[in-house]
Amino acid sequence: MMRVGSVTLFSLWLGFGSVANAQINQPPLDQFSPNPLEITTPDPLLPILPKKGESLDAEQSQELAAALDMLNLEAIAKLQAADILGAFEIWNRELRLRRYLGPGAEVAALNRVGKIAWEKSQQLQLKFITQRLQAIQKEVLSEPTINVELWQSLALAFEQVRAKGPAVEVYQKIIEAARSRSDIVAEAQTLKAIGQLHTNWLNHEKAAAVYEELATLIQENRNLFVVIPPTPNSTRPQPGNGNVLPPVTIPTEEDALKQLAFSYEQAKKPLQAIAARERLIALYLNQQNLKAIPPLKMAIASNYEALGQLNLANQYYQETYTAALVVQQFSFASEALQKMANLYRSQKQWEAALKIYQVQLTVEQQSYNLYGVMDTYDQIGLVYMELKAYPQALAAYQRGLEIAKQLNHKQEYFARKIQKLNQRLKPSS
């Protein structure tokens, strides 16, 4: 390593003030301006730039880093004073010089400033940062040695500035590197990052393809994904609002299948969503996690109902009811019965619907859900009205009114129903 021209802390401070002031008269940047991050002219903080193949020594790097940290603080102060353009002028100067501290330091700074540019809707600045990241990407990916940590930082920086395509490209390179060294956990972790990225951008079909690959990878290597503690690598930017997602942790088969089902659901592919949920049910059965099964059965039933496959929908609603009773999830059991009854009513199978409502009454009573009991009597009354069985409808509404009075809720509703039926049943004079 060769040492470049001497830079003292005193000269750094002199340069810090003089150039910051000189930039006040700089013309404003526009879309036709050259990228200020690619300017490589000498700077008072670094009057003699390193030649190609040279780098700063440890002392110079430390002094330059300290001065650039001060530039960052000055930029923050300007931003807080509502001088956005002035702040980014200083940040651009900082970013230009960060490259001489190595690609890792530069990418971290680009990530940091990119986050602020996104939050402040500075589209031109985002363009400049993205272009500089792409230049680094080209340099890094062409190097013979693999620096996975730098690649990961680069991918996260691309995510920060909402450059989805380049981020995916870098992640794919990370996957290739993981496969070359048979690092299955790293491969899975990176697949999870790509899946989250596609999901954040609402590209659910691509997300589903990634989660299919991830779920299969985990299932084929279950021994590597058992009782592995989460190991976060970095915070992840949330496209759309600048918030931070949880760190990407080592994925689990459960998470992969959940995301797979969600992605297919959002992509309007119910059959594939059903298949993913069936795999998830099998996993929960193997784990004896019976409480997780009723909502999945319910979702599958809803998928089949949406597809018009009513027999299968009815079958899965029945399975939901049974599975829910086993774990005393009475709300799921009641909801499944309600949906079964609705199916029968849609087919005008009134007697079958009434039988379901009688079972639902029992479930609601077992769970001491008086509101559920009241609403079920209401539904029974409506079915009897369809059958023109007015005395039975009247009896159901009267029972509903009794519960309504206990709850001090919907008394007038049931009273009106009863009044109309009494008038209908009143013998004509």
Report the C-alpha gap between 277 and 261 in whole angstroms: 6
Given a cut of 50, is residue 2 above it in pLDDT? no
Residue 29: the pLDDT is 72
Task: For residue 330, tell me if it sits in a domain.
Answer: no
Domain stop point among 237, 261, 288: 288
Give the model's confidence band at 11: pLDDT under 50 very low, under 70 low, under 90 confident, else very high: very low
Residue 349: the pLDDT is 98
> Among 52-56, 117-121, 160-164, 231-235, whose mean pLDDT is lowest?
231-235
211 and 198 Cβ atoms separated by less than 8 Å: no
Task: For residue 352, tell me if it sits in a domain.
Answer: no
Mean pLDDT, rounded, for 66-92: 98
Report the C-alpha gap between 232 and 294 in whole angstroms: 32
Percent helix, percent strand, percent coil in the chain, to nearest 5: 75, 0, 25
Given a cut of 80, is residue 248 above it in pLDDT? no
- Mean per-residue pLDDT over the chain, rounded: 90
Q: Which amino acid is at 25?
A: N
Task: For residue 234, tell me if it sits in a domain.
Answer: no
CA-CA-CA-CA torsion sign (198, 200, 204, 207): positive
Q: Which domain holds residue 260?
A: 184-222+250-288
pTM over 0.75: yes
Report the C-alpha gap between 111 and 24 in whole angstroms: 25
CA-CA-CA-CA torsion sign (99, 103, 105, 106): positive
Give the model's confidence band at 54: pLDDT under 50 very low, under 70 low, under 90 confident, else very high: confident
Task: For residue 155, tell me if it sits in a domain.
Answer: no
**Number of structural domains in the chain:** 2
Given a cut of 80, is residue 234 above it in pLDDT? no
Condensed to tens digits (0 to 9), the pLDDT of residues 189-225 reads 999 999 999 999 999 999 999 999 999 999 999 999 9
State the residue for tokens 């300290």: 66
Q: Residue 43 — φ and ψ, nearest 5°? A: -130, 145
Of the candidates 69, 74, 75, which has an alpha carbon nearest to the alpha carbon of residue 87? 75
Condensed to tens digits (0 to 9), the pLDDT of residues 129-185 reads 999 999 999 999 888 888 999 999 999 999 999 999 999 999 999 999 999 999 999
Residue 323: the pLDDT is 98
Domain stop point among 101, 118, 143: 101
Residue 51: the pLDDT is 86
Task: For residue 404, tell me if it sits in a domain.
Answer: no
Task: For residue 231, tell me if it sits in a domain.
Answer: no
Interior CA angle at 218 toward 216 and 224, to 5°?
155
Task: For residue 121, tell me if it sits in a domain.
Answer: no
Given a cut of 80, is residue 87 above it in pLDDT? yes
Task: For residue 15, tell me if it sits in a domain.
Answer: yes
State CA 297 to chain mean position distance: 23
Mean pLDDT, rounded, for 250-269: 97
Shared domain check, 188 and 97:
no
Residue 247: the pLDDT is 58
State the residue for tokens 């009205």: 385
CATH number (domain holding residue 190): 1.25.40.10
Condensed to tens digits (0 to 9), the pLDDT of residues 340-391 reads 999 999 999 999 999 999 999 999 999 999 999 999 999 999 999 999 999 9
Condensed to tens digits (0 to 9), the pLDDT of residues 307-338 reads 999 999 999 999 999 999 999 999 999 999 99
